Structure 1
């Protein structure tokens, strides 16, 4: 019966995988080592979007350097009129060029604002790359933890199978009631179900990792243990929170807001338009040169609303920059404290695991000798499984804390600078 149930569940899992992935795609490739994966992910959609934002800012900065275009005007006067009064004898044709001239340093302010926009896009790109590297590392570690959970579930299935064999032998010898065998069978079915869930979670974790990395096909495994690699690395050096990507981004946004305010202030200065043209008179022997200047009167629009809005934006950016500095300092302290706490938690979890393994070993010896009931063995096995699961949770927490600190330091979890 157990074999048929196991086969049916295996077929169901295979059917699910066949629906999720086309034939052959599931065997596509193994995820490369994390450092290589991070380099390959430069073409991932999220990174491409960050690059596009920088290109957009560069385009706007280039456009900010453009000067106003001149315009050409052609005027005709007195070309239709009363022939008896000789109106057409006074026909005039004027060709004129108008050139707007920016005053008050508008172009320089606009160029400075464009350059500040580029700096913001670049800072946002670095901050986004660091966030992406941290999320990719967590996805890689999650896939590794999913692998370990499968191994843990397989061990528990094997242990439950061994317990069932012992229970059947004791029942056959008349030393246990039939109820104990049923309890052991139920326990085995539960472990088999947990194993299938772990396998499904592994498929999902690998699929998410492939999607983040921009891989068109899902991964089937990992090329390295990123958690073990993290454990082998020495503790990171001092981290300057004032040099974190978030603080630099906030400072760049504050500078951009200041440049935008200058643009609005300079825009209040009216521009002039210089005019130069040639007028042809029908009654004259030659052309006449005409020139002029157009000066707008700032009576109704003095750009006060835009200036006030830019001032408010600058105040907001200054407050955000101050908040970013405080958060970076607090985040660095919290990350270091969390690393120490998760390290202590990991050590405690390993001591608990050692105790649980010994308790399970003794409970099994006692049960097989008929000196302890099955309920004690099952309880010891549950405690052992819980201790193993706590080890995995502690490893993931330690990894997450170190990933956070690496991001604050401007590094990937592999210790490489992210630019």
Structure 2
């Protein structure tokens, strides 16, 4: 049963690799740039952000419109008795009323709407940057899981060979049967790790599928994964979207102060009409002027509220600046630490572990080294390779998060 499972896992991995190689040969390998572009076409978050921008744009147009006039038709002294029976004996008035906004209310509304439109645009950029980070992390995870699966496959193949070699040595009387048991345990453990790595790769591929909508099976192109130095990272806005968003909130809050001050000035409604008296042909003009009296609500509370909101926005802007500085320092430190760890894991340490494993295999095959040294060398090599991939994964993830912090919504690497 163990051998059958092992064969099935290896066959599955080989089939996946063959499909991937065929896809690469056909030029259909998915790049990071293509993954980000595909995700942007179908992401609900971007669709919602786009709707918010369109709503803000419509609000700018709406805020610039003047109030609608009013047409009034009135009939007085009707539906009574005597000469006022019915509708013919009363006065009939047709009037036209138009409100006049004073104090620059319309301009103030437009100012608030434009500030909110700018904030919506920043929100859309932030949604794009968040999606780019999400796709990049999923892409990096898939690239790493594929390499983990390849490492597990290699370790399992070596364990299979070591098991067969130990069995031959036992049959030839050159080793104790316990060596065969140890080799079998090692083979079983690598088989379990291989299955886990294959499932992790499938899960990582499913995550990319959910984000991008690509169809399985597919392969990815990630030549940048093994690179530590000389990788171009696109520059963001420099100030960070969090600070830019906080600044737009300050502008919007100040625009609301102006709007609240303008609202304190009462509007005027002008009325002009014509009245006809009873059954005669006498007519007379009707003129009217109405002004609301700010006795109970003079608008001071609204101004105080808008000022308080402005102070809150200013404080939030300062807090965003401090948080951005701290986050930038931490992100830069994480990138530097990850780069140092990646260089160390992919440098002399990996070469030494590979050479030690090679010597241990030769020595064990020739009977010069005990089995425990071979097992230790293989375990050390597998761990070093895993650490190498993990270090590269941490480096690429740290760079992606730094780019997001800087406000970049483009892929961090050129494919």
TM bucket by the smaller chain? 0.7 to 0.9
TM-score (norm 2): 0.87
What is the CA deviation profile of residues 140-169 of structure 1, one whole-angstrom value per residue up to 9, with x for unaligned ones? Answer: 111111111111011100111111012112
Which residue of structure 1 aligns with residue 78 of structure 2?
79
Distance in 2 between residues matched to 1:74 and 1:338, nearest whole Å: 74
State yes or no: 1:298 paired with 2:297: no
Answer yes or no: is the 8 Å Cα contact 1:402–1:413 preserved in 2.
Answer: no
Distance in 2 between residues matched to 1:89 and 1:123, nearest whole Å: 63
Distance in 1 between residues matched to 2:330 and 2:46, nearest whole Å: 28
Counting matched residue pairs gives 400
Which residue of structure 2 aligns with residue 4 of structure 1?
4
Q: Of 312, 324, 329, which residue of structure 1 is paired with 2:325?
A: 329
Segment of structure 1 superposing worse, 294-303 or 388-397: 294-303
For residue 60 of structure 1, report the CA deviation from its aligned partner.
1.1
Distance in 1 between residues matched to 2:373 and 2:204, nearest whole Å: 35
State yes or no: 1:95 paired with 2:94: yes
Q: What SS is found at the alignment partner of 2:272?
A: strand
Q: What SS is found at the alignment partner of 2:120?
A: helix
Unmatched tracts of structure 2, length 5 or more = 17-26
State yes or no: 1:394 paired with 2:391: yes
Answer yes or no: is the 8 Å Cα contact 1:31–1:37 preserved in 2.
Answer: no
Which residue of structure 2 aligns with residue 193 of structure 1?
192
Answer yes or no: is the 8 Å Cα contact 1:53–1:121 preserved in 2.
Answer: yes
State yes or no: 1:307 paired with 2:299: no
Which residue of structure 1 aligns with residue 402 of structure 2?
405
For residue 391 of structure 1, report the CA deviation from its aligned partner.
0.4
Residue 128 to residue 119, structure 1, CA distance change in 2 (3 Å): same
Residue 175 to residue 88, structure 1, CA distance change in 2 (3 Å): closer
For residue 84 of structure 1, report the CA deviation from its aligned partner.
7.4
For residue 89 of structure 1, report the CA deviation from its aligned partner.
8.2
Distance in 2 between residues matched to 1:370 and 1:230, nearest whole Å: 40
Answer yes or no: is the 8 Å Cα contact 2:400–2:412 preserved in 1.
Answer: no
Query: Greater relative contact order (Cα 8 A, min sep 6): structure 1 or 2?
Result: 2
Residue 330 to residue 360, structure 1, CA distance change in 2 (3 Å): same
What is the CA deviation profile of residues 92-123 of structure 1, one whole-angstrom value per residue up to 9, with x for unaligned ones? Answer: 01111121221221111000111111111111
TM-score (norm 1): 0.86
Which residue of structure 2 aligns with residue 268 of structure 1?
264
Residue 206 to residue 354, structure 1, CA distance change in 2 (3 Å): same
Which residue of structure 2 aligns with residue 154 of structure 1?
153
Distance in 2 between residues matched to 1:386 and 1:398, nearest whole Å: 18
Which residue of structure 2 aligns with residue 37 of structure 1?
35
For residue 288 of structure 1, report the CA deviation from its aligned partner.
0.9
State yes or no: 1:255 paired with 2:251: yes
CA RMSD of aligned residues (A): 2.9
Residue 86 to residue 353, structure 1, CA distance change in 2 (3 Å): closer
Matches within 5 A, 1:211-360: 211-213=210-212, 215=213, 217-218=215-216, 220-228=218-226, 231-234=229-232, 241=238, 243-282=239-278, 284-350=280-346, 351-360=348-357
Distance in 2 between residues matched to 1:400 and 1:76, nearest whole Å: 76
Unmatched tracts of structure 1, length 5 or more = 18-28
For residue 345 of structure 1, report the CA deviation from its aligned partner.
1.0
Distance in 1 between residues matched to 2:217 and 2:5, nearest whole Å: 28
